[in-house]
Structure 1
Amino acid sequence: MKDFVVILGSSSVPNSPTPPNLRHRHSHRSSPNKTNSSFHKLSPSEKQRQPISSSIPTVHSHQHPYPPLSSTVRWNPTSRRDSPLKYYADLASKLAEDGRLEDFAMTVEMVVASGVDASRFASMLSVELVSKGVALSVREGKAKSVVQVFKKVEKLGVASLKLVNGVGLDSLKKEFQRILGSGEVEEAVDLLESLIGFQFTVKELVNPSHIVKICVDKRNPILAIRYACLLPHAQIMFCSIICEFGKNRDLASALTAYEESKKNLSGPNMFLYRAIIDTCGLCGDYMKSREIYKEDLVNRRVTPNIYVFNSLMNVNAHDLGYTLDVYKDMQNLGITADMASYNILLKACCLAHRVDLAQDIYNEVKHIESTGALKLDVFTYCTIIKVFADARLWQMALKIKEDMISAGVTPNTVTWSSLINACANAGLVVQAFQLFEEMILSGCEPNSQCCNILLHACVEASQYDRAFRLFRSWMGGQEGNIDNMLSTKQINNATSVSTALDHITNSHHPSFLKKFSFKPTTATYNILMKACCTDYYRAKVLMDEMKSLGLSPNHVSWTTLIDICGGSGNVEGAVQILKTMHVTGIKPDVVAYTTAIKVCVGRKKLKLAFSLFDEMKRYRVQPNLVTYNTLLRARSKYGSLHEVQQCLAVYQEMRKAGYKSNDFYLKELIEEWCEGVIKENYQKQEGLSSCERTDLERPHSLLLEKIAVHLQMSTAETPAIDLRGLTKVEARIVVLAVLRMIKENYVQGHSVKDDMLIILGVSERHEEAADVISGVKRAIMKLLQDELGLEVLLVEPQVKKDGWVDLQAPIDANTTLLEMVEKNSLSSEPLSSTRRPVILQRLKVTRKSLHRWLRRRADVIRR
């Protein structure tokens, strides 16, 4: 009997003498460095045909220079038939256990190449030993080598999944955790793609949602979709990825994920459409949702289901017209609206304050409910109640509550809050508190929002003491009947209880004597601070108490404190609170700045008010309409050119920001300031009444724009006044404004260096336009010559024989228009219509007369 020994070693390691007990027993003995087997003498094709029982080759590893194994497996050819195969299976398992996975793969390849069935040989391998080898290699950072070995044995017909048990899977899980922990999510997806090709499942290796979260955090939608394609429920995962990007307000990545998802779908997917539309709404881009609906659904003739339509209507609920159009599209396609559809329509009516349409929809839904097709839910009732509450129709809101109870729908906290708010908005404090009592008697637990509504109702009704008593009783958890606490003696408002509330009992009820949890919010303390009126120290104590409860004061808290401090007369303290906001890390918003500016204006600290206005713009806080109006109404009279320029600059900025202002108040002040050129003690003249009527009829004030432009001229510039487009009264004010500016500059040492030109307008052929220009000219001539005593010349361009126009030729002011026309008609050849230039009618006030007038005004001012 012969013993066969298989020796594994490396060509790079010197062969050592074979131990005596492991030497082959042959009739012909050979040296230890040579192989006696005839297997190596065969050709490659003969090697494959040679049965494994006839010759045992020596397996060499040329890639891993490991020393020979310390033990060998003996094989007796006369034993059972599977002994040689079992020998190689044990050998391969031992190689894998030692981490020599490539030698393991070579052994498997040799055995399968000899004609042995791969599945039969795989069943003889030790899964435990192979898993240990896989775990060892993975721990050593050779995960990619493990994948290469898996690829080799898979090609040979050996399933890699059957070679790995719990130990190997645990090592792979830890490797994925390490890779993901280091942020190499792409490497993890690459490895995962390879292992899934070997029939591994994602759940066995990694938490499926963990990779999605990392991809979302890294804003990598393409990699997220690539990973989702590895999952069996890829279509659902596509929607989850889009929604996750939406939660992060990353619409761009969500849209990229949406486009990548469509490439991996064979047809329309309603879940995907709904996910991206909802994400558009979450990110505030409702126009993109409309674009998706039109391009991906309407234009491609894809019929959405009811859920897609509901999402589209909900995202665009702020636009009632578009929402109704989508609802009509749904009806035209034959899709029946569900309860959610009607709730969204009611929501759109609520946002648009369309009470009439909301009533029609509610009646329609009630009719459908009577047929049994739908059942109204609590959300429907809450929405229609809110519609009436916002419109202060508290009686109709209570009627809806009765419908709700009769339909068997129990009002929830939101329902009661809306009902209480309906009465509070109407100023009915008594009814609001009785509804609160009824809510508690019904067993519904009030929340902080409901309590805040009651406190706000007290503050709005100027019942400040009651607001504080309620708050302290809730905070202290006192037991008692609210009716006793809110008796009619304590109610300042004597409004009687409506007959609609007669069913509510006023007697003591044992079940009402109980505590309810009340956790104040920042809004609660903000309401109480408003109840402090001008008591700054009490409001400050409330803010400190808020902080002690772990609540952070918000912009409303600080703004209220500024208003209270300013109301007590402490302007400097109010401004200091504004600075404290910066120190605490809260950037003051436009409301905070506007409140501080109002405080300054109210105490006539106009310089401080305008400095705050400049400060808010430095911090890039955009003023609103209230800010602008507060500054424009800060003065009751203008005393200097700087003040006028300051307010006109605010006015121009306001117009550029897109706000429309009531110019009447500002015009009156400027008219008064302008008329000071003629008389220091202004007395309103009868002729100015037409200015009010004319200006109010104009779509926007060209007058103020003209004045603003002219008053911004440098003192070194030649005075020039453009009166085109103005009425004669407006033209008078503009001329007076410029003269007032010239006068104040002259007092400061800036003299007039040139004549003052006044542009009246273009010579018109239309009789009506010519009359307007003529009227403006007469009014200005009267003002300058008769009232101010200035020298005025009429400047008309003269047409020369060569066709050129002399724009500098003056004409005596006494020359009539008829005389000028007759003079021009004597020219040899009139200009052709194609060469006729634009002719401006202008007046010129001489510099000499301006100096005389200014000296007279200066003497009056000095006296």
Structure 2
Amino acid sequence: MRDAIAILASSSITLPPNSTPSPATTTPSNQQSLSPASKSKSKKFSGRKQSLKSTAALLHSTVRWNTSPSRQVHRLKDYAELASDLAEDGRFSDLLMIAESVVVSGAKPSQFLAMLNLKSVSAGISRMLEDGKLERLIEVLSGLLKLGFPVVKLFDGVAFESLRQECLRRFQNCVQPEEIVSLMETLQGLGFSPNQLLASSQVIKLCVKRRSPGAAIRYAQLFPQMETLLCTVMIEFGKKRDLVSALNVFEVSKRSQGSPNTYAYRTIIDVCGLCGDSMKSRSIYEELLSCKFTPNIYVFNSLMNVNANDLSFTLRIYKQMQRFGVTADLASYNILLKSCCLAAKVELALDIYRQTKYLESTGDLKLDVFTYSTMIKVLADARMWKMALEIKEDMLSAGVTPNAITWLSLISACANAGLAEQSIRLFEEMLQAGCEPNSQCCNILLHACVEARQYDRAFRLFRSWKENGIQPVSTDFKLKTHNIISADCSRDGFSALSDSPVTSEVQYHTKRLSFAPTTATYNILMKACGTNYRRAKALMDEMKTEGLSPNRISWSILMDIYGGLGNVKGALQILRSMHQAGIQPDVVTYTTAIKACVEHKHLEVAFSLLSEMRRYQIKPNMVTYDTLLRARSQYGSLHQVQQCLAIYRDMRKAGYKPNDYYLKHLIEEWCEGVIQNRTQNKGQFTPIDDTADSGPQSLLLDKVAEHLKVGNVESLSIDLRGLSRIEARIVVLAVLRMIKEKYSTGNMVEDDLWIITEGISGAGTSKNSSGITELITKLLENDLGLEVLSAGSRESSNIESDSELLSVSSTEIKEVLKQSDLPLKLDSPSRRPAVLLRLKVTKASLHSWLQRKGVSVSE
């Protein structure tokens, strides 16, 4: 190769006037350090490089080369060879200087690039990347790109792999996803595909993990399949329960297209399901409809699936789908069955199943394992095990192979019915079919034994599985199978021990499978201990030895065993031990403790546990309320009645519908104690046969609760409107008993007692009102010896201004009527003025009755 000085000297260079060297080309390059391996080679070209530096400015300022084309090509080769050597030494600044000079001098970038030694250049790139100088490399590559060089072509396979590894290293050490996204944007600008450098799923998961939807959106915009990637981002945010970020991505997806993207709408609806916000999915669906766009079958199915827990809405969407002319597919019917399963609507599920069977017979559908399994689950939950087995036969006839979920539902159906033998038979069929059971399936089998009170069998199964693995447990089944195999083999002329297909199947059937007990396994066995608390405690200790942690259910079962033995103190100690162990008791735990207290007549402790639940913000459930309401067989004091009535009203406010019949009769018995003598047996009274006109029991109990509120004794009034005769009697007696007990504690009666028997529209009276008036008058005068005066009538317009008449405000009356589901007619502007029929019990007669020795309050 000729010396660069000779080349430049032999050429005629024409400089423009007043030309000055470029600062970029006069910067010394000897400040960059050479690697030890290339020092000898560097010396070889040091003279050329120094000469090149001194003349580079002239070359950079040259407008044209005044040489022949062949001479120019020869010169380009020399510069390309020098540039390649400089790049191999890592001197990419010099490479950029030469390239810039060559391009300015008139040479084409592609021509110069073709003359470079790409192997040397790629080696230099790899060396820079290994030294962590990615930013410097990007700076040089950006300069070359501006000159028109396709920089991607400077990378061979080795250099590209080095770049990929450097990106991966930076990704692994990245804290802010914006950094890696910015790097990908830069490299894409240089011509590299981001997906080839890093897997898109990795970058998206990093953005989701760092809760950075903006970075995820920027990254997705680097790809032509941006819409698909945005949907992937939404799904990933949904898996993290981050609906807000997913909705931000969805808004970007909507703006990027002119018309609605049904795939994006379907995805965000699915995300709403993952985040548990079904109401948001409905608003998104309505937004799609507002765009005058007809959803496809996938959008409808996603919407129904997300709202499967609301059967009425799911059916409404299904009918809407039919109105839009969208044909339901198998997924649609499966979702409907799932919704019926969640709502426990067996008959509707059977109707849908029959419809799908008909469509299968016409060739429009082909039922899958999910259809059959869901239908079996519906019947299993309803304890309809015979029909569940019939569905299994339909499934096998259709050529559909049951999966683990199918077998689990079938075994559960029989287990819930307490059919241990049938459950075990299905379990063995499952093994023979080659379907390996999981721990949940084994737990259900143990539960079947417990439900059938075969406790010893449950323990034998557990010990056998734990020591020997899972294998057939029915001797009859094994003997029957062996006889069938022997008969078949003898008929065909083979030995029973030959390696026939049937024998192989049985060998697989008898193969032992590993068994790993869970906390639920030990909980089931603890239930099988009955009242043997020592055995239950030993199981809990064994659970800990196996590396399992007892949960709330474990502690509740142990507490229930103590309660069944009458050891209330021990049960309460378990509750305290849970708190000390850092395990927060739940509603089941507290209800178990309350049950133990109630069964052994520690009623005040039971009510204190209810107060403790409220302090810990644990909401009682239906069982808790029902246990407390049935705590007493009779009431002895006003305080006890007020306690139970408060629980009753809390129960109704919580949305539960209690059976009022039991509580009503206890209140009735307590009220009748006012007119019974000491010689009478408690509870022996003859209530009026008033079944013909009895009103809602909830209204009666609300009235009693309202009149027995603390403080009502100072302002005496009783409102009997809306009650039947027997209910009116009970309310009056309840108030009188309250007055009696308050008087015994020193609270004197300060006013007359007013009783509103009925409010009649207009001036007339009704048969019911006159019957109540006559009944109450007879009760007060004949049975209790009180003085009763008829106060005449008064229009309703004066009610609220008469504090002597009403102690219950109109707002409270409205609330009582609202809770009792009766029509609300108060303060109606179109209502005619009502006439109130009132009775007055004088204060003097009340004092006389209270002081009378012959009248006592039943204990």
TM over 0.5: yes
CA distance in 2, matches of 1:664, 1:783: 24
- The residue aligned with 1:560 is 557
CA distance in 1, matches of 2:355, 2:832: 71
Task: Tell me, yes or no, if the aligned pair for 1:762 and 1:841 is still in contact at 8 Å.
Answer: yes
1:242 pairs with 2:230:
no
- The residue aligned with 2:212 is 220
- The residue aligned with 1:765 is 762
1:605 pairs with 2:597:
no
Task: Tell me, yes or no, if the aligned pair for 1:280 and 1:286 is still in contact at 8 Å.
Answer: yes
CA distance in 2, matches of 1:620, 1:219: 31
1:281 pairs with 2:273:
yes
Residue correspondences, number: 785
CA distance in 1, matches of 2:634, 2:17: 118
Q: How does 1:662-677 map to 2 (within 5 A)?
A: 662-677=659-674
Q: How does 1:308-707 map to 2 (within 5 A)?
A: 308-320=299-311, 322-324=313-315, 326-327=317-318, 338-353=329-344, 355=346, 358-359=349-350, 361-362=352-353, 365-366=356-357, 369=360, 375-477=366-468, 482-484=473-475, 511=507, 513-679=510-676, 681=678, 688-690=687-689, 694-695=693-694, 697-698=695-696, 701-707=698-704
Return the match for 2:110 from 107, 119, 140: 119
* 1:820-857 Cα deviation digits (max 9, x unpaired): xxxxxxxxxxxxx9999887555554545444433336
Q: Quickly say closer, same or farther: Cα 1:648–1:680, change in 2 above 3 A.
A: farther
Task: Tell me, yes or no, if the aligned pair for 1:225 and 1:261 is still in contact at 8 Å.
Answer: no
1:855 pairs with 2:851:
yes
The one-letter amino acid paired with 1:379 is F
Give the TM-score normalised by structure 2. Answer: 0.77
Task: Tell me, yes or no, if the aligned pair for 2:83 and 2:116 is still in contact at 8 Å.
Answer: yes
- The residue aligned with 2:250 is 258
Task: Tell me, yes or no, if the aligned pair for 2:88 and 2:124 is still in contact at 8 Å.
Answer: yes
Query: How far is the alpha carbon of 1:656 from its aligned partner?
Result: 1.0
Q: Quickly say closer, same or farther: Cα 1:338–1:92, change in 2 above 3 A.
A: same
* 1:344-379 Cα deviation digits (max 9, x unpaired): 444445445555555555555555555666544433
Which has the higher relative contact order, 1 or 2, with Cα contacts under 8 A spaced 6 or more apart?
2
Query: How far is the alpha carbon of 1:114 from its aligned partner?
Result: 3.1
* 1:401-439 Cα deviation digits (max 9, x unpaired): 444444444444444333333433444333333333344
Query: How far is the alpha carbon of 1:208 from its aligned partner?
Result: 1.9
Q: Quickly say closer, same or farther: Cα 1:837–1:287, change in 2 above 3 A.
A: closer
Task: Tell me, yes or no, if the aligned pair for 1:632 and 1:650 is still in contact at 8 Å.
Answer: yes
Q: Quickly say closer, same or farther: Cα 1:795–1:127, change in 2 above 3 A.
A: farther
CA distance in 2, matches of 1:132, 1:533: 78
Structure 1: state its 5+ residue gaps: 7-23, 27-36, 48-55, 489-496, 811-832
CA distance in 1, matches of 2:299, 2:109: 52
Task: Tell me, yes or no, if the aligned pair for 2:762 and 2:832 is still in contact at 8 Å.
Answer: no
The one-letter amino acid paired with 1:252 is V
Return the match for 1:205 from 181, 197, 200: 197
Task: Tell me, yes or no, if the aligned pair for 1:638 and 1:673 is still in contact at 8 Å.
Answer: yes
Further displaced range: 619-628 or 582-591: 582-591
The one-letter amino acid paired with 1:622 is K
Query: How far is the alpha carbon of 1:66 from its aligned partner?
Result: 5.8
Query: How far is the alpha carbon of 1:598 from its aligned partner?
Result: 1.0
Query: How far is the alpha carbon of 1:537 from its aligned partner?
Result: 1.4
Query: How far is the alpha carbon of 1:539 from its aligned partner?
Result: 1.4
Task: Tell me, yes or no, if the aligned pair for 1:688 and 1:729 is still in contact at 8 Å.
Answer: yes
- The residue aligned with 2:710 is 713
1:42 pairs with 2:41:
no
CA distance in 1, matches of 2:293, 2:571: 62
Query: How far is the alpha carbon of 1:245 from its aligned partner?
Result: 1.8
Task: Tell me, yes or no, if the aligned pair for 2:380 and 2:414 is still in contact at 8 Å.
Answer: yes
Task: Tell me, yes or no, if the aligned pair for 1:798 and 1:807 is still in contact at 8 Å.
Answer: no
CA distance in 2, matches of 1:479, 1:714: 68
CA distance in 2, matches of 1:804, 1:547: 69
The one-letter amino acid paired with 1:226 is R
- The residue aligned with 1:829 is none
CA distance in 1, matches of 2:476, 2:567: 36
Task: Tell me, yes or no, if the aligned pair for 1:785 and 1:791 is still in contact at 8 Å.
Answer: yes
1:190 pairs with 2:182:
yes
The one-letter amino acid paired with 2:574 is I
The one-letter amino acid paired with 2:532 is D
Query: How far is the alpha carbon of 1:205 from its aligned partner?
Result: 3.4
CA distance in 2, matches of 1:768, 1:109: 112
- The residue aligned with 1:157 is 148
Query: How far is the alpha carbon of 1:782 from its aligned partner?
Result: 4.0
Query: How far is the alpha carbon of 1:64 from its aligned partner?
Result: 10
Query: How far is the alpha carbon of 1:228 from its aligned partner?
Result: 1.3
The one-letter amino acid paired with 1:562 is M
Q: Quickly say closer, same or farther: Cα 1:852–1:147, change in 2 above 3 A.
A: farther
* 1:515-569 Cα deviation digits (max 9, x unpaired): 3333323332222222111111111212222222223333332222222221122
Aligned to 1:701, the other structure's residue is in SS state: helix
RMSD of equivalent CA atoms? 4.8
Aligned to 2:427, the other structure's residue is in SS state: helix
* 1:308-330 Cα deviation digits (max 9, x unpaired): 44434433444555545555555
Task: Tell me, yes or no, if the aligned pair for 2:411 and 2:444 is still in contact at 8 Å.
Answer: yes
Q: How does 1:140-155 map to 2 (within 5 A)?
A: 150-155=141-146
Give the TM-score normalised by structure 1. Answer: 0.77
CA distance in 2, matches of 1:442, 1:141: 59
The one-letter amino acid paired with 1:745 is K
Aligned to 1:721, the other structure's residue is in SS state: strand
Task: Tell me, yes or no, if the aligned pair for 2:96 and 2:140 is still in contact at 8 Å.
Answer: yes
1:301 pairs with 2:293:
yes
The one-letter amino acid paired with 2:237 is F
Q: Quickly say closer, same or farther: Cα 1:63–1:718, change in 2 above 3 A.
A: farther
Task: Tell me, yes or no, if the aligned pair for 1:792 and 1:846 is still in contact at 8 Å.
Answer: yes
Q: Quickly say closer, same or farther: Cα 1:126–1:792, change in 2 above 3 A.
A: farther
Query: How far is the alpha carbon of 1:637 from its aligned partner?
Result: 1.5
CA distance in 1, matches of 2:373, 2:291: 37
Q: Quickly say closer, same or farther: Cα 1:457–1:155, change in 2 above 3 A.
A: same
Return the structure number with greater helix share. Answer: 2
Aligned to 1:767, the other structure's residue is in SS state: coil
Q: Quickly say closer, same or farther: Cα 1:585–1:71, change in 2 above 3 A.
A: farther
CA distance in 2, matches of 1:413, 1:393: 20
Aligned to 1:677, the other structure's residue is in SS state: helix
Task: Tell me, yes or no, if the aligned pair for 1:558 and 1:581 is still in contact at 8 Å.
Answer: yes
Return the match for 1:738 from 732, 735, 740: 735
Query: How far is the alpha carbon of 1:575 from its aligned partner?
Result: 1.9
Identity %: 52
Query: How far is the alpha carbon of 1:623 from its aligned partner?
Result: 0.8
CA distance in 1, matches of 2:831, 2:649: 38
CA distance in 2, matches of 1:514, 1:205: 48
Task: Tell me, yes or no, if the aligned pair for 2:403 and 2:435 is still in contact at 8 Å.
Answer: yes
Q: Quickly say closer, same or farther: Cα 1:766–1:427, change in 2 above 3 A.
A: farther
Q: Quickly say closer, same or farther: Cα 1:377–1:168, change in 2 above 3 A.
A: closer
CA distance in 2, matches of 1:91, 1:633: 100
